[in-house]
Amino acid sequence: MQRVSIFVDVQNIYYTTRQAYGRHFDYNRFWAKVTQNRHVVEANAYAIKREDDKQQQFQNILRGIGFNVKLKPYIQRSDGSAKGDWDVGITVDVMEAAPDTDIVVLASGDGDFELLLRRVMQRYDVTTEVYGVPSLTANNLVQCASQFYPIDTPFLLPAKPMPVS
């Protein structure tokens, strides 16, 4: 059985699925696909910590699916911008997991991860699978992955019906 390690850039997936489709990502369907006939070595979902009931409920759902939820504080800068980037944390975790895995799954469209995927493929001979919204995933990330899987209708929750007035 192949060993798989899964890394989800929650903010990237949330914003790209919302922008492209106006819908939410179906983490249950994603989990079923990436773990089918595979042994899960590690599964991390990287999110921003906010003191918000909906966010905490969502994080509990991720935990229930099987993800280890890693949280970073949300930082609002004085100029109005915000910081909550997990790129370095994801990179460190992928590098640490790669020697003990056969497949690295990354759910993100961030092209900054190209170098990471190239390095783990060369150094550890792992297969890399990237899941991302096609129109919002960096081409360099798509090109460097062993396999790219588009996030589209099968990986989206149904649209919520509009209220009738």
pLDDT bucket at 160, cuts 50 / 70 / 90: confident
Summary mean pLDDT of the chain: 92
| Domains annotated on the chain, with CATH | 2-155 (3.40.50.1010)
Q: Is the pLDDT of residue 161 over 70?
A: no
Helix (H, G, I), strand (E, B) or coil at 74: coil
The residue written with tokens 């209220």 in the block is 163
Residues 103-127: tens digit of each pLDDT:
999 999 999 999 999 999 999 999 9
Helix (H, G, I), strand (E, B) or coil at 80: coil
Q: CB under 8 Å to 96, separation ≥6 — which residues?
A: none
Residues 59-98: tens digit of each pLDDT:
999 999 999 999 988 776 666 655 567 999 999 999 999 9
Q: Is the pLDDT of residue 49 over 90?
A: no
Q: What is the full DSSP assignment across 117-158? A: HHHHHHHH--EEEEEE-GGGS-HHHHHHSSEEEE-SGGGBPP
Mean pLDDT computed over 21-50: 96
Indicate yes or no: pTM above 0.85.
yes
